[in-house]
Amino acid sequence: MNPSITICCDFNQFSIFLLVIFLFVWRKGRVSRRGICLVGLCESGKTLIFSQLIYKKAVESFTSMKENIGVLDIANKGTLKLVDIPGHERVRQRFFDSYKNTARGIVFVLDSFSVNKDIRDVAEYLYTILSDPVVSSNKPQVLILCNKQDHPLAKGPQVIQSVLEKEMNVLRNTQTNQLEAVAEGGNRKSFYLGQEGKNFEFADIRSLRVEFAASSAQTEDFENLKKWLQSVA
Ligand SMILES: Nc1nc2c(ncn2[C@@H]2O[C@H](COP(=O)(O)OP(=O)(O)OP(=O)(O)O)[C@@H](O)[C@H]2O)c(=O)[nH]1
Ligand SMILES: [Mg+2]
């Protein structure tokens, strides 16, 4: 046989071998990630959601300063590890850094009544999470949970999505301008959330699937959240 053909075959077999190894390691990493991180500003309702889902009852909660961890049984899909991350600005990044690598999903909880007032803080925290290098690399599914829907003046998920997209757009422009000013020789930092040349939309974040849903921890309305958990598990 022609030696060059032999080398070519060996090379092809070696590439397939590498691809199989890569797929195996990638799938194993994804399968072994069973965490669901509950994140969001203080008072958005994370701990009440956590206690309703894990203990099936409301426990009186105060501003959390440490995480809560519990196990969720998902029908026919095994278990997920639910982690309630405190929303306090001083500690939330530290706790998120400890659990983000294990996240199969991230539930970003917001208060649908106070969202307009807090829109800058909500958008900043969400932006930090979505542009986190570990998040963009592991690609957990993301649910933006519009909680406190029982409040008579609560905004619905569609309205919240559009307000949040506008705010994220402003934030992205500010951050991009800052990066351009700081970068040496005008070199832009490569990471960009969404699509360049158009206004920010969640659907344009190619590496992440971001969905919106409504809930009320007060009235135990978790229908959408439970459907999402079932699909993620
Ligand atoms: N009306 C209403 N109140 C809610 C709902 N969810 C939570 N709350 C109330 O909002 C307050 C804050 O809820 P927590 O669950 O402690 O908020 P948290 O997100 O854990 O806050 P941090 O621990 O500070 O990050 C509590 O008084 C809850 O009872 C809801 O769906 N509807
Ligand atoms: Mg809490």
Q: Are residue 98 and residue 16 in the same domain, yes or no?
A: no
Q: What is the pLDDT of residue 61?
A: 74
How many domains is the chain built from?
Answer: 2
Cα radius of gyration (the chain)? 21
How does pLDDT run across 139-196, given as a tens digit for each residue?
999 999 999 999 999 999 999 999 999 999 999 998 876 666 555 555 544 468 999 9
How does pLDDT run across 99-126, given as a tens digit for each residue?
999 999 999 999 999 999 999 999 999 9
* Range(s) of the domain holding residue 157: 34-232
Among 51, 60, 61, which residue has the most ligand 1 atoms within 8 Å of its CB, making it the best to mutate? 61
Q: Are residue 56 and residue 155 in the same domain, yes or no?
A: yes
Q: Are residue 171 and residue 116 in the same domain, yes or no?
A: yes
Does position 127 have pLDDT exceeding 70, yes or no?
A: yes
Q: How far is it, in rounded angstroms, from Cα 42 to Cα 193?
A: 25
Q: Are residue 10 and residue 68 in the same domain, yes or no?
A: no
Q: Are residue 22 and residue 104 in the same domain, yes or no?
A: no
Q: How far is it, in rounded angstroms, from Cα 169 to Cα 201?
A: 8
- What are 135's two structure tokens? 């998040």
Q: Are residue 99 and residue 193 in the same domain, yes or no?
A: yes
- Closest ligand to C-alpha of residue 49 is 1
Residue nearest to ligand 1 atom 13, measured at CA: 45
CATH number at residue 163: 3.40.50.300
Return the axis-axis angle of helices 119-130 and 92-99, rounded to nearest 10°: 30
Please tell me the pTM assigned to this model.
0.86
Residue 115 Cα, ligand 1 centroid: separation in angstroms? 14
Q: Are residue 20 and residue 110 in the same domain, yes or no?
A: no
